[in-house]
Amino acid sequence: MNLEKICTQAISIVEHSGRFIRQELGRVASGDVEEKGLNSLVSYVDKTAEEQLVEALGQLLPGSVFLTEEDTVANQSGDLQWIIDPLDGTTNFLFQLPIFSVSVALQREGQTVLGIVYEINRQECFYAWEGGGAWLNGRPIQVSGRAPLSQSLLATGFPYHDYSRMQEYYQVFEYFMRHSRGLRRLGSAAVDLAYVACGRFDGFFEYGLNAWDVAGGAFIVREAGGVVTDFEGGDDFLNGGEIIAANPAVGKEMLEVIRGAFG
């Protein structure tokens, strides 16, 4: 399997859906918006983009199956599985805030081998394939070398539906506020991870996430030389709902703080 070739072809598919999303910005009426759950919004834009991605990626790899956010196709397990978030940052998109993205990952026999995050407004495509390093619009990228934590800029996502661990989150949030250059909350976990991969952020953490939020971006971070773990330092960040991604030095410090609060 030529992963580099598949990645190049998949990028064209992702960018096509990104152009559709961008042209719909500001056109979605309030009546077109549904609430799937607490603070979880969806519109025809998410669903149409997902349908486009499923159709084209399915043609790219016949016989592949899908895990998608909007359930426009039956979610299945298989040797080749695409993990798709057609619009990560839907709330930003609906409120016309500029950061939202398409996130796609490919797993082969349960292991991620390809990741793409396309930040739509800046038209920045972050991508990686197994063993090929990490890239942004044709240029190689890597995580930052900044350390220690006190010199770093961090990103997070605020809990928006699962408030069961708020006290632990507040404890970590306060520590990082006091012991870093600052914290940012962009509203798209996929973009947060992509920004860690290219060194704009030194670390990112969040809980309450799904596999499609992080699969593509987490793989890109690792190919860019970063570390990605769950809050215990393990590897269950795809399905465990919690993630730390960072350059190696800052990641070690972040894990100590987060594990102390959440453990």
pLDDT of residue 40: 74
pLDDT of residue 33: 87
* Contacts with 62 (C-beta within 8 Å, 6 or more apart), sequence order: none
The answer to whether residues 67 and 75 touch, using CB atoms and an 8 Å cutoff, is: yes
Distances (CA, A) of 50 to 43, 121, 151, 185: 11, 18, 39, 25
pLDDT of residue 36: 82
Please write the tens of the pLDDT for every residue from 31-74.
888 888 766 778 999 999 999 999 999 999 999 999 999 888 88
Ordered by start, the domain boundaries in the chain are 3-141, 149-262
Which residues in 142-256 belong to E strands, given as ranges? Answer: 153-156, 182-184, 203-207, 227-229, 242-246
- The CATH classification number of 149-262 equals 3.40.190.80
Please write the tens of the pLDDT for every residue from 220-243.
999 999 999 999 999 999 999 999
Evaluate whether the domain defined by 3-141 bears CATH number 3.20.20.70.
no
| Percent above pLDDT 90 for the chain | 89
Closest CA to 152 of 230, 232, 226, 251: 251
Give the chain's length: 263
Closest CA to 220 of 124, 151, 89: 124
Question: What is d(CA 31, CA 15) in angstroms, rounded to the nearest whole number?
Answer: 27
pLDDT bracket for residue 22 (50, 70, 90): very high
pLDDT of residue 189: 98
* Contacts with 128 (C-beta within 8 Å, 6 or more apart), sequence order: 7, 114, 115, 134, 135, 197, 219, 220, 223, 224
pLDDT bracket for residue 13 (50, 70, 90): very high
Cis peptide upstream of residue 62 (ω within 30 degrees of 0): no
Mean local confidence (pLDDT), 246-262:
97
| Percent above pLDDT 70 for the chain | 99
Pick the more confident residue, 34 or 157.
157
pLDDT of residue 138: 98
Tell whether the model's pLDDT for residue 167 goes beyond 90. Answer: yes
* Start-to-end CA span in the chain (Å): 40
Please write the tens of the pLDDT for every residue from 123-143.
999 999 999 999 999 999 999
Closest CA to 45 of 12, 70, 82, 77: 70
Mean local confidence (pLDDT), 156-180:
96
